[in-house]
A and B are shown apart, each in its own frame.
Chain A
Amino acid sequence: MDHLAFWTILAGLLTGVSCALVGCFLVLRRMSLLGDAISHAVLPGIAVGFLLSGKISGPAIVLGAMTMGLLTAFLTQSITSATRVSEDASLGVVFTAFFALGVVLLTISAKGVDLDAGCVLYGLIEFIPFDTIEWNGLLIPRAIITLGFTLLLTGSVIALFWKELKLASFDPALATTLGYPASLLHYLLMALVAGVTVASFEAVGSILVVAMLVVPAAAAHLLTDRLGIMILIASLLASLSAIFGYLFALQYNTSVAGMMAVVAGGFFALALILAPRYGLLAKVLRQARLTLRIAREDLLGTLYRREEANQRGEQPAATSGRPDLLTGSRPLFRKLALRQLLHRGLVQGRADHYELTPAGRDRAIQLVRAHRLWEAYLEQNVSLPPDHLHAPAEKMEHYVGPNLLRELESALRQPATDPHGRTIPPSGPSPR
């Protein structure tokens, strides 16, 4: 790797990780858009700092931008509380106004200087390696030192106030009642956001800062429930976005900062689909497994009721023939469920019909027992008319676990029949 690539990637990496650190708190506190607003609103601060100092970097600009960032947080909150303009609207007013002011100030002040409006939006990460200073005999890009210092500062502030920030993020009301100064913590976080935004500004510009603030943190939020791990994952994703963003940008000869945002978006999309617990795929699979289990249990219940009807000598309304058992809603799931039941030895196929095996009968008895107990319970306690009892019980039978079953039994004192006069099968293996 040549040193140009090294410094560019390192700059992207430092930017990404600093942003991801504070971004996690923004995402958890549902303040992502305040980060967005601050990243826009620091522009006039930068412009004024530039007007005063004549340099495009340095303490004047950082100070100006930090002031504007905190002012944004303050103004948004006070407009909402003082005038009842809703929070999102006041955010929109403040950041567009500040951004407009910044563009105007820059247009007036920065003619002929390489601080044009374009670099405001997408940064100049490609030029970072060329602006170097000597440090212990090494030529190091100036921005790397700034960004490294920012990361160090952000990391240590978060480590120092870890407990407080964590509490305030998950339960601000509890934090206040415990005596932590919630609004002070809020402004501390906003100061961090402003600081990180200013430092990252040069590298990725004002809008792609938002990508680094929000996207890795949101992706990490999909992958874990623990704050510490979330921060680690977000930092890792931000670093990978920086590396691959640079490589892809090189490949297609395009903007590094833009590509970093796109790669981060790609990681987010992957997390959205594949996350083990909160991913879309996991959700679909969970849903399908549940549907399948319900289909299996419904089949067992149906077969048991037919057996019952046969024993009583009634002619069953329908035979247990193959096509008949599989008709109804979701035929695909029914077919699959039947195959599973056969495979597990709960149901066996005869020449023209299916019947329960002893193991299948035990399982079916549990289900039908749950169903009828629930019906009896509903009749006793909810006073539904008899023809309204079946439908809720049909749903509930799949969710009655051993604990609920015991409670039902003790509440009903072991009834022998359900409201329709059918025998409630006793628990335990069937006498056959």
Chain B
Amino acid sequence: MSFLQYNTLLVLTGTCLLGAVGGFVGSLAVLRRRALAGDAFAHASLPGLCLAFFLVGERSFIALLIGAFVTGSLGLAAVALLRRFSRIKEDAALGIVLSVFFGAGIVFSRIIQGQHTTGNKAGLDSYIFGKTAGIISQDVLLIAAAAGLCLLVILLLYKEFQLVTFDADFGQSQGWPVLLLDLLMLGLLGLVVTIGLPAVGVVMVAALLILPAVTARFWTDRLSRMLPISAVLGAAMGAGGTALSSSYADLPAGPVIVLTGTSFFIVSALFAPRRGLIARWRQSRFLPLPPPELDDGLPYVAPDPGGRL
């Protein structure tokens, strides 16, 4: 049993925590329509990783993560500024930021690889696709600390976050510091993405935030239940993916974690009791006029005379 060894157990703990906190923070992000902000943050963190690598010179987990967090935040700030002050729409702003920052990251990483010849390529490449095998106990401690921080902040500010997530305009009119709360939520998102980088990699780390949250949404309509469900799903996704990838040594962990999460999503999308496809299909057969569900803020679509949505 290879995955009961100390190292594997350590890695399992790390990814499990990571998945849980990703599910927690991701729920808020997805409900706030910020699913892809995590993706932009992750791509924008690559130049920071490389610069930190360049400045510190050797693999210092914390320095790399700080670098990643800094340029990732710059990327999100750029998206927000483009949206606010130019005619560029959000989708294009996200695309521009993630591709240009990523390009800059590739440029830096190649320059660095040209200067240091020993084994650095592997170090940086593992951040692109994710490599849990490299996680050591200090890293797990760091992940645990970050996860604990996120949990604490969300529990303390639960009511405020709920308000901002569901009706920011109302919050604004009632005098809540909406901008500050929003920034704090983005900060948590950035933190999760940053600590998720080494495990899942730049390209797929956004899935840590999106998959558990979107999956949990199938099972409940209440935020108070969605958060724990999403956290549990995230933890299962992280642990399951790590366990699977460690039994097939060649597979990078990141993609396997993502595929594990995807399978949860598919199962839920099909079989969830009320919102799943099968349930909805049956409901539409027996109830020709389903009641409008306005909880997503999407316009209610009237069924055609055949009774199908």
- B-contacting residues of A (Cβ < 8 Å)? 27, 30-33, 35-36, 40, 79, 82-86, 88-93, 96-97, 99-101, 103-104, 107-108, 111, 117-118, 121-122, 207-208, 210-211, 213-215, 217-218, 221-222, 249, 252-255, 257-262, 264-265, 268, 272, 278, 280, 283
Contact = CB atoms under 8 A, between A and B. Distances in A.
Contact of B95 (A33, A86, A103): A33
Given A100-B259, A121-B203, A222-B88, A265 B210 contact: no
Given A86-B30, A99-B203, A254-B110, A283 B252 contact: no
B218 A83 contact: yes
Nearest to B298: A84
B304 interface: no
Which bucket holds chain B's interface residue count? Answer: 35 or more
A93 B265 contact: yes
B36 A208 contact: no
B85 A280 contact: yes
Interface string B62-94: 000000000000000000001001111101101
B269 A83 contact: yes
Given A93-B211, A104-B256, A259-B107, A79 B269 contact: yes
14 contacts: A32-B91, A40-B203, A82-B277, A83-B276, A84-B298, A88-B35, A92-B35, A92-B210, A104-B251, A207-B203, A208-B103, A211-B99, A255-B107, A280-B86
Given A221-B88, A280-B85, A254 B111 contact: yes
Nearest to B128: A121
Most buried by B among A96, A122, A215: A96
B105 interface: yes
A265 B103 contact: yes
10 nearest A-B residue pairs (beta carbon)? A261-B103, A258-B106, A265-B100, A211-B99, A100-B255, A214-B95, A100-B258, A96-B207, A32-B95, A254-B110
Nearest to A265: B100
A82 B96 CA distance: 30
A283 B103 contact: no
Given A208-B99, A258-B110, A100 B204 contact: yes
The prevalent SS among residues of A at the interface is helix
B252 A103 contact: yes
Contacts of A253: 110-111, 114
A162 B30 CA distance: 37
B106 A122 contact: yes
A186 to B, nearest CB: 15
B115 to A, nearest CB: 9
A264 B95 CA distance: 13
B34 to A, nearest CB: 8
Contacts of A79: 269
B207 A100 contact: yes
A111 B249 CA distance: 14
B129 interface: yes
Contacts of B204: 96, 99-100
Given A82-B277, A207-B98, A258-B102, 17 more contacts: A27-B92, A32-B95, A33-B94, A83-B269, A86-B35, A93-B207, A97-B207, A107-B251, A108-B250, A208-B103, A210-B95, A214-B95, A253-B111, A254-B107, A254-B111, A257-B106, A268-B100
Nearest to A80: B298
A221 B92 CA distance: 11
Contacts of A268: 96, 100
Interface in B246-269: 250-252, 254-256, 258-259, 262, 265, 269
B252 A262 contact: no
A210 to B, nearest CB: 4
B128 A261 contact: no
A135 to B, nearest CB: 32
Contact of B277 (A83, A207, A208, A215): A83
Contact of A84 (B82, B110, B206, B293): B293
A129 B272 CA distance: 53
Contacts of B254: 100, 103
Nearest to B258: A100
Contacts of A99: 203-204, 255, 258
A122 B89 CA distance: 26
B37 to A, nearest CB: 9
Nearest to B31: A86
A86 B87 contact: no
A214 B96 contact: yes
B159 interface: no
Contacts of A108: 250-251
B125 interface: yes
B229 interface: no
Contacts of A35: 95
Interface in B128-143: 128-129
Nearest to B211: A93
B214 A93 contact: yes
A32 B111 contact: no
Nearest to B35: A89
A98 B291 CA distance: 34
A108 B129 CA distance: 15
B192 to A, nearest CB: 14
Contacts of B262: 93, 96-97, 100
Interface string B205-248: 01100110110011000000000000000000000000000000
A207 B106 CA distance: 11
B36 A261 contact: no
Contact of A85 (B99, B214, B255, B293): B214
Given A33-B95, A218-B88, A262-B100, A104 B259 contact: yes
B99 A207 contact: yes
A338 B108 CA distance: 52
B33 A86 contact: yes
Contacts of A259: 103, 107
Contacts of B43: 207
Contacts of A117: 125, 128-129, 252
